[in-house]
Amino acid sequence: MSSPSIVIPRRSFLAALGLSVGTLAVGLGRPPSDAHAAAVSPPDGGFTPNVFVHIAPDGTVTVCCHRSEMGQGIRSSIPVLVADELGADMAKVKLVQADGDKKYGDQNTDGSTSVRNGFDNTRRVGATARMMLIAAAAKQWKVPAAQCEAHDHAVFHTASKRRLGFGELAPLAAKLPVPKEADVVLRPKSELRHVGTALPLLDGPDIVTGRAIYAADVRLPGMLTAVVARPPVVGGKVDRYDAARARALPGVKRVFELPVPKRPFRFQPLGGIAVVADNTWTALRARSLLDITWAPGDNASYDSAKYRETLLASVRKPGKTMRNVGDVEGALAKAARKIEAEYHVPHLAHASMEPPAAVARVDEKGCEVWACTQDPQTARDDVAKALGLDLAKVTIHVTLLGGGFGRKSKPDFIVEAALVSRAVGAPVRLQWTREDDIQHDYYHSTCTQHLEAGLDAQGKVTGWLHRTAFPSILSTVQDANITFGQARELNQGVLDWPLAVPNLRAEVCEAKGHVRIGWLRSVHNINHAFAINSFIDEIAHARGVDPRANLLDMIGPARPLGLSELGVPSLSNYGSSLEQHPVDASRLRRVVERVTELAHWSAYQKDAQSGSKTRALGLAAHRSFVSYIAVVAAVVKSPDGKIRVDEAWIVADAGTVIHLDRVKAQMEGAIVFAMSLTLHGAITMRDGAVQQSNFRDYRLARIGEVPRNIHVDILPSEGRPGGVGEPGVPPVAPAIANAVFALTGKRIRELPLSRSGLV
């Protein structure tokens, strides 16, 4: 843990930069409606702090990062893109982290959106500043702006060989009107010098030396530490409690009950008993001495093993049709051969290395929070609502995140910190333990799927039926009475899979939620990619053809798929239009062809047919977050009969990438993350309570289980940026499962593999 420190509020940081004198400021992304008014400096030349780029008289360019950094490298990508578009020298660029505020546009670092949705807007920020600097220089030199260009941290007039640095021009540019968005001209991509190259991780030195500040590192004068004893069953509450022994411990300041949440639970704290003490150790000891009797509520009967049978029964009956092409019943009835299979994925926990933590200070001025949050605006809204404060009196500072995976976009732990601080009248660090995190998470939805395929006499797939049942995330965040998955959830691998089958139908079946359901890295794609790729592999072996050839046959010819060919009335498409990001079978084919080439698939399959099987390959591919990923996994069998993943290849087509090294790291991390889920990941409930508590019983992939080689290939592309943080995860589990079948002949239709006894 870093040495004691106080995180400096952003407004203090900006003041320290001297931005009130001769400063050029422009907004990032979709600015407020008045942002295109003339940006004329007041007498002191200053600008208001609703900005993303600052150019000071000394030439320092300060870029404000409005997204959260959790290892994906966004704080190393946004400034590079701005600097390239501006023409700045990266050595003179500094970064400041934005607080939670709607003036920054969308700040929710979730859904693989930071670059995918922000690429053009971020470039526009740099381009706007560049155009204003050029206009200032042209005015100074009395030449047309078209004769000037900006690069190397200066504006040049080539004909006269004149040059003015950015710092010299900042006071002049600050007096000019800000160009309207429609008038901003972006550079040709060829002039973006650093985009798509291997760049340093700007936060890397601080992270590896311990100087980086995470939420639990923040220290304020007079700060206390709090932990909470939460109901073991979602919806439960305190029946009675005795805190006499806890209060008797030296250093314990307060013990009190938190509000009981109401349905839908959304991002409310779970309630329970808060313990506040001088330090973490005392708070945890006191919590262990609480004598609490819980009223478990109506989820106390939830048993995940029995619920699996409920889901099976659900998918064995017709559900709501969500995708339909042709006549599925007719095709299946006429089929010369019919294949059926059912797949199951359990609840999963996020288990990021850094458990949730937040520091809150509530006083007469309002509430100030430091937190490892992915979504500071939602945190700000929810804190204001919980405290009954005007939004303007709530400030959310974003620290670094030690992993997030979607968990830290839910601000329940931040609201807890604010409630406790108000109750004790002092700054409070609200700390979750690993056990708290595992047992009170927003769990990935358990899912059961039923698939059928009909083959004609020539072995061609003529019919495809896919049923899926899972508790919807919306049952937690919107309406507890929602019992069917929604179209936007089916979009994740069911409605948008480019199948070349003349008759197909996808249905969603009923599933009621009994725990807090939340999005986890790649969300429902985990479940759907596992079932679809596994089933396609089963079809390959039923047809007696090579799995690679079969997969390409199922994808079909290179083509974009419109709504009619997909068989859907509309497609949420991860918030992107089909014109910008079509469902493109050619891109899925391309990653399959490339990954099998790198893995020497054809040569290996030929050798495997003639030799003894001690090693086997498995293949899977998936489209998610408008990117295309294919994975080959090689598995080997140990003398004790256990299976180990020996090597892995992953190929990504994510369109234009900014930070090549970070994209490769994301793909490597996706392999390891997905292996944890594939080999060991399972949250089970009995009597409504989670049975796992720490890494001893909710295991992650360990060093000895990670492949000796992970090969990553990022395909070059001029296309629009796709998602990167999440798409690498879904194909991993089916690639491993298909390799296990190739090696052992045993089909893996339920995750994790540990349940099969093979690992």
Q: List, for residues 686-736, the tens digit of each pLDDT value.
A: 999 999 999 999 999 999 999 999 999 999 999 999 999 999 999 999 999
**Averaged pLDDT of the chain:** 92
Count the Cβ atoms, other than its own, within 10 Å of residue 582: 18
Whole-angstrom Cα distance, residue 478 to residue 489?
14
- What would the DSSP string read from start to end of 361-420? EEETTEEEEEE--S-HHHHHHHHHHHHT--GGGEEEEE-B-S--TTGGGSTHHHHHHHHH
Sorting pLDDT into bands at 50, 70 and 90, what band is 610? low
With beta carbons less than 8 A apart as the criterion, state whether 595 and 544 touch: no
pLDDT of residue 27: 47
- At 506, is the secondary structure helix, strand, or coil? strand
**What is the band of 607 on the pLDDT scale with cuts at 50, 70, 90?**
confident
Phi/psi for 584 (5° steps) reads -120, 105
Contacts of 758 (CB under 8 A, 6+ apart): 641, 642, 643, 740, 744, 746
Asked if residue 743 has pLDDT above 50, the reply is yes
- pLDDT on residue 496: 97
Q: What is the third-level CATH fold of 304-348+442-756?
A: Aldehyde Oxidoreductase; domain 4 (3.30.365)
| Tens-digit pLDDT profile for residues 541-599 | 999 999 999 999 999 999 999 999 999 999 999 999 999 999 999 999 999 999 999 99
337-345, strands of its sheet edge to edge = 320-325, 504-509, 461-469, 447-455, 337-345
Residue 463 CA: distances (Å) to CA of 343, 466, 491, 511, 603: 19, 10, 20, 26, 32
For 109, list phi and psi in degrees, rounded to 5: -85, 80
pLDDT of 43 over the 90 cut = no
Please count the other Cβ atoms lying within 10 Å of the Cβ belonging to residue 120.
13
Closest CA to 595 of 626, 643, 634: 634
More confident residue, 3 or 222: 222
DSSP secondary structure letters along 302-313: --HHHHHHHHHH
The reported pLDDT for the residue numbered 491 is: 97
Looking at residue 653, its pLDDT comes to 98
- Least confident range of 32-41, 256-265, 680-689, 701-710: 32-41
Assigned token pair, 17: 């930069």
pLDDT of amino acid 341: 98
- Those residues whose C-beta lies under 8 Å from the C-beta of residue 686, and which sit 6 or more positions away, are 303, 304, 305
Q: Rounded to whole angstroms, what are the CA distances from 57 to 17, 22, 87, 336, 741?
A: 11, 6, 16, 78, 65
8 Å CB contact between 27 and 61 = no
Q: Which pLDDT band holds residue 606 (cuts at 50, 70, 90)?
A: confident
Q: Is the pLDDT of residue 500 over 90?
A: yes
Checking if the pLDDT of 33 tops 60, the result is no
Taking a C-beta distance cutoff of 8 angstroms, is the pair 506, 481 a contact?
Answer: no
Q: Can you tell me the mean pLDDT for 24-37?
A: 37
CA distance 618 to 470: 27
CA 403, CA 315: separation in Å to the nearest integer?
34
**What average pLDDT score do residues 448-454 get?**
98
The predicted pLDDT at position 325 comes to 98
Q: What is the mean pLDDT of residues 322-346?
A: 98
pLDDT-based confidence at residue 47 (cuts at 50, 70, 90) = very low
What gap in Å lies between CA 607 and CA 612, rounded to an integer? 9
> Looking at residues 406-423, what average pLDDT do you find?
98
Q: Read off the pLDDT band of 324 (50, 70, 90).
A: very high
The tokens describing 546, both together, are 């090579």
Region of poorest pLDDT, from 48-52, 134-138, 460-464 = 48-52
> Does residue 596 contact residue 633 with C-beta atoms inside 8 Å?
no
CA-to-CA distance for 320 and 486, rounded, in angstroms? 10
- How confident is residue 4, by pLDDT bands cut at 50, 70 and 90? very low
Instruction: Report pLDDT digits (tens) over 157-194.
Output: 999 999 999 999 998 998 899 999 899 999 999 999 99
Measure the CA–CA gap between 402 and 71, rounded to whole angstroms.
7
Q: Please tell me the predicted confidence (pLDDT) of residue 198.
A: 84
pLDDT at res. 26: 52
Which residues, 6 or more positions from 33, have their beta carbon under 8 angstroms from its beta carbon? none
Q: Which residues of 221-244 are buried (b: 16+ CB within 10 A; e: fewer)?
A: eebbbbbbbbbbbbbbbbeebebe
Q: What confidence tens digit (pLDDT) does each residue in 552-564 have? A: 999 999 999 999 9
Local structure of residue 294 (DSSP, 8 states): E
**Given a cut of 80, is residue 443 above it in pLDDT?**
yes
Domain 10-209 identical in fold to domain 304-348+442-756: yes
119: phi then psi, degrees, rounded to nearest 5: -60, -55
Q: Return the CATH architecture of domain 10-209.
A: 2-Layer Sandwich (3.30)
SS3 state at 739: helix
Per-residue pLDDT at 6: 42
State how far the Cα of 268 lies from the Cα of 419, in Å rounded to an integer. 11
Task: Quote the DSSP letter at residue 5.
Answer: B
- The CATH number of 217-298+356-431, from 3.30.365.10, 3.50.50.60, 3.40.50.300, 3.30.70.940, is 3.30.365.10
- Domain map (residue ranges) of the chain: 10-209, 217-298+356-431, 304-348+442-756
Per-residue pLDDT, 741: 97
Between helix 525-543 and helix 732-744 the angle, nearest 10°, is 30
Over residues 621-675, the pLDDT tens digits come to 999 999 999 999 999 998 888 999 999 999 999 999 999 999 999 999 999 999 9
**Cβ neighbours of 76 (radius 10 Å):** 21
Q: In what order do the strands lie in the sheet with 24-26?
A: 24-26, 53-55, 61-65, 93-97
Per-residue HEC secondary structure of 591-624 comes to: HHHHHHHHCCHHHHHHHHHHCCCCEEEEEEEEEE
Structure confidence by residue, pLDDT tens digits, 362-403: 999 999 999 999 999 999 999 999 999 999 999 999 999 999
